[in-house]
Structure 1
Amino acid sequence: MRISESIRDQLALKFEVLFPHLDERQRRLLMATEARLLGHGGIRAVAQAAQVSETTVRKGVDELESGAEPLGRVRRPGGGRKKAADIDPRLRPALLALVEPDSRGDPMSPLRWTTKSTRKLAEELTRQGHKVGADTVGDLLREEGFSLQANAKTIEGAQHPDRDAQFHYINEQAKAHLDTGQPVISVDTKKKELVGEYKNAGREWRPTGEPVKVRTHDFLDRQGPGKAIPYGIYDIAANTGWVNVGTDHDTAAFAVASIRRWWQARGRHAHPAVTRLLITADAGGSNGHRTRAWKTELAALAAETGLEITVCHMPPGTSKWNKIEHRLFSHISMNWRGRPLTSHDVIVNSIAATTTRTGLRVEAHLDTGAYDTGIKVTDAEIDALPMHRHRFHGDWNYTLNPAHAQPTPRAADPAAPPDSVPARASARPGPASLRDPELTGMTTAQLDQLTRTLIPALEDRRESLRHQQRGGDRLRARGAGAKDTLTAPARILATVLHQRKIGTHDLLAALFGVTRSTMSRAVQEVQPLLGEHGHTIPPSTARFRTPADVAAFLTPEAAQREIKSAC
């Protein structure tokens, strides 16, 4: 049976009290008696409690079982084998020369670039003429105050000269907002997590010998559920957290979309009648101070909400001091330690169940939206932003004013409350303008030819997909039932514009008057057909954020005609 720690502690206390009053033979027989009473595993437990070798305890057990008289022997004072360090006075200095080559020893030590295990140290000492074993080397090192230690992360790299001043500035801004009842949030992207039966750091209580079995490697399975990107918003005053778990890319659009969802679902209710919002963020990543898309998306959010949004970035290399790291993310990591994150639902539920004794409450929601990468923001677009850079480090501290800003029309978010969907712009370029060669990269005749070529293949593909979903043949004829939101030519045109990379799925959805999910499905249906028929759509050099940008890019006559027809 397994000897408990409490029994070992009791034995250690008993030996500590009795051993000073017993001779060598009596101590040996006492340990043997205790070992026999404990049964299986008793010799090892007694040896550990008495801090002697198992051989000594085993000898005592053999003496008891032999029944010979007298039991064992007692050596004279000073008897027994001498310690290796006493026999060889040069052993200890030689050992210190090997383990301290940079300070007190030999800088040319042969073990300078080698792992200094006790076995290798013993081999080198033996080669030098000091006969010693690995256990003796370990005893000598402990006597000299050595122990096994890992590296300690304490040396910081080059610091920005205004690092401390920026921390003071952030504190002043936060205090000014909190004193007037304005919300202050800390935002960041948590480490991306692999979704599936992968090892997760940490341990949790389970029956002995029944660990959770996970994969032997951490390579992402392309056929599996993929990865999770938790983006967190921590409300400093309310001590609440909101985590938007993405599944696509960690982009600036995703970061601001997370803040938008927090504001629509919780922020505006927890902080009614506020006019300003302070965001503290890291210097890099999707919410970095050099990320142009981050600023443009925040400008759109300011216009939608009517909030004056101030952003203060942490100095470079100081992300660990961001409030969200030690007030939210660290508790999430502890909450799911040792538990494989087998699905997105497991991740969302584990995050939402995170609490602390200080009253932290966390909400988590899954975001399956697509967030395109590679979107460029021009100098003209940045200059047009209603952004005021602060006098102190305007690159780190700036305010986005909602005045004179035009919100970006966005498709409805299926996961958002019905009243949280921003209104679309009343005017947008119509389908005829979207066929302009400047947008499609081809003439009208070429686009018509492409449409005629792909429509039959598109209809067959959609019918095949529906057949798989139904698991059988149609019960109604084609054309019966609800009509599609997008016609086949519109789906092909939307995919061409998507391949041209003129804007995000949100922009295309707003241009065609549909939701983001409808636009995503349309692109997924048509995009493979372009490759199958050998059509390559080169990307455009133009990038747009709003329908108004598209209208301004088109010929004035066409733009005005479409706007009038939409009114």
Structure 2
Amino acid sequence: MYHSADPRNASDSTYQSTTKSAAKLARALGELGHRVSDRTVLRLLKAMGYSLQANQKTREGAQHPDRDAQFEQINRTVAEAIAAGEPAISIDSKKRELVGDFKAVGREFEPAGRPVEVRSHDFKDKQLGHAIPYGVLDLASDEGWVNVGIDGNTAEFAVNSILGWWEHLGRERYPDATTLTITADCGGANSNRTRLWKTELQRLAKTTGLRIVVCHFPPGTSKWNRIEHRLFSFMSLNWRGKPLISHEVIINLITATTTSTGLKVYAQLDKRPYPTRIEVSDAQVAAVNIDRHAFHGEWNYSILPSVTMA
């Protein structure tokens, strides 16, 4: 039985697995003169310590040597901002969702034999398009803001999402604010390597009059971004098994997201176009009034409201 299983790993490994189904194993054993049923094979596999298992995401890849130090830098910067009564937020975009009667991951209780019927293929509906939820989480409270875009996931979209949070929630909650601290991933629309991200942050600083302090998570550590497990995970649970048939439904599902700790989420639909591949000139980059911090200035920096003059 063991040799028929054809383990994928070396014989001296403490972890063994097989790529064959019970039916294939039963057939292989039959060819060796051992006639057994699929059910018997399953019972034998269980006795040998085998079980059906899905892949598990545990490997984070090569870690940056200053990974932990950057986590400490982020925690310290956020803690100081909150202690001073200044706003501190976690930002990120959720994955793009097709809008329409498409199959949704998860299951919901429905009358027996009457499941919700959806399309058999996930091809984008040209009329309904897609939705990109961009979230802003206030790190000092259980309060989130989600800007649902229908076009590109760009740096302009990211900054407009932050600006939307500030105009609808942040400005009223922090009337005396002078600084806005932002924690973000190193990739996507808010990538620390994107020129447009820097110039858009300059626009944010000028519009709000706030000093913008940014701390990026090291590469490969996005799952530690607070918004992932304090906002997005609960949004996913709330629309589990529910087809996202319209943008209105998406907005309603987002705002209906709650937790036992009192999470409250606000959302709006953003119909503005966000073109990609926008060229940012050297002069525009040079005009950004950026102050790179001593520790990893590519991850930690401040942008002041006034632009620098060439």
TM-score range, shorter chain: over 0.9
Residue identity matched to 1:155: R
Structure 1 distance, partners of 2:98, 2:212, is 33
- Contact (CA 8 Å) 2:205, 2:212: kept in 1 or not? yes
Distance 1:405 1:363 in 2: 35
Query: 1 CA distance for matches of 2:12 and 2:290?
Result: 62
1:305 aligned onto 2:243: no
TM-score when scaled to structure 2?
0.94
Which one is further off, 231-240 or 155-164? Answer: 155-164
Whether the aligned pair in 2 keeps the contact of 1:299 and 1:405 (CA below 8 Å) is no
Q: Residue type matched to 2:56 in 1? A: A
Q: Which letter does structure 1 place at the counterpart of 2:119?
A: R
Q: Distance in 2 between matches of 1:104 and 1:228?
A: 45
* AA in 1 matched with 2:280: V
Contact 2:99–2:125, Cα closer than 8 Å, also in 1: no
What stretches of structure 2 of length at least 5 have no aligned partner? none
1:311 is paired with a residue whose SS is strand
What is the one-letter code of the residue matched to 2:217?
Answer: M
Change (3 A) 1:106 1:361: closer
Match of residue 139 from structure 2? 236
CA distance in 1, matches of 2:285, 2:238: 41
Is 2:80 aligned against 1:176?
yes
Matches within 5 A, 1:128-527: 128-222=32-126, 224-404=127-307
CA distance in 1, matches of 2:149, 2:21: 45
Shift, 1:392, TM fit: 0.8
TM-aligned CA distance change 1:405 to 1:268, over 3 Å:
farther
Deviations 1:397-438 (A, max 9, x none): 1100113469xxxxxxxxxxxxxxxxxxxxxxxxxxxxxxxx
Which structure features the higher share of strand residues?
A: 2
CA distance in 2, matches of 1:189, 1:105: 44
Instruction: Tell me, yes or no, if the aligned pair for 1:184 and 1:236 is still in contact at 8 Å.
Output: yes
Q: Distance in 1 between matches of 2:308 and 2:287?
A: 9
CA-to-partner distance for each residue in 1:206-228, whole Å, 9 max, x for gaps?
A: 11111110000111122x21001
| Identical-residue share of aligned pairs (%) | 56
How far off is 1:232 after superposition? 0.5
**SS of the residue 1:331 aligns to:** helix
Q: Following TM superposition, by how much is the alpha carbon of 1:137 offset from its aligned partner in structure 2, in angstroms?
A: 1.6
Which amino acid is 1:338 matched to?
G
Does the 8 Å CA contact 1:100/1:106 hold for their aligned counterparts? no
The SS at the match of 2:119 is coil
What is the distance in 1 between the residues matched to 2:198 and 2:10?
Answer: 56
Runs of at least 5 residues in structure 1 that lack an aligned partner in the other structure: 1-94, 407-567
Say if 2:102 and 2:245, in contact at 8 Å, map to a contact too.
yes
List per-residue Cα deviations over 1:434-486 (Å, max 9, x = no partner). Answer: xxxxxxxxxxxxxxxxxxxxxxxxxxxxxxxxxxxxxxxxxxxxxxxxxxxxx
SS of alignment partner, residue 117 of structure 2: coil
| Matched residues, number | 307
In 1, the alpha carbon distance for the partners of 2:300 and 2:138 equals 19
Which amino acid in 2 is paired with 1:363? Y
SS of structure 2 residue aligned to 1:340? coil
Higher helix share: 1
Q: Quick one: structure 1 residues 404 and 106, their matched pair in 2 at CA, closer, same or farther if it must change by over 3 Å?
A: closer
Shift of 1:105: 5.5
RMSD of equivalent CA atoms:
2.0
Query: Alpha-carbon deviation of 1:103?
Result: 6.0
Question: 1:239: how far off?
Answer: 1.5
CA shift for structure 1 position 106: 11
Q: 1: CA distance between counterparts of 2:232 and 2:5?
A: 40
* Offset from partner CA, 1:51-80 (integer Å, 9 cap, x none): xxxxxxxxxxxxxxxxxxxxxxxxxxxxxx
SS of aligned partner of 1:149? coil
Deviations 1:222-268 (A, max 9, x none): 2x210011110000102200001111111111110111111111101
Does structure 1 conserve the Cα–Cα contact (< 8 Å) formed by 2:291 and 2:302? yes
Query: Is 2:4 the counterpart of 1:98?
Result: yes
Contact 2:6–2:19 (8 Å) recurs in 1: no
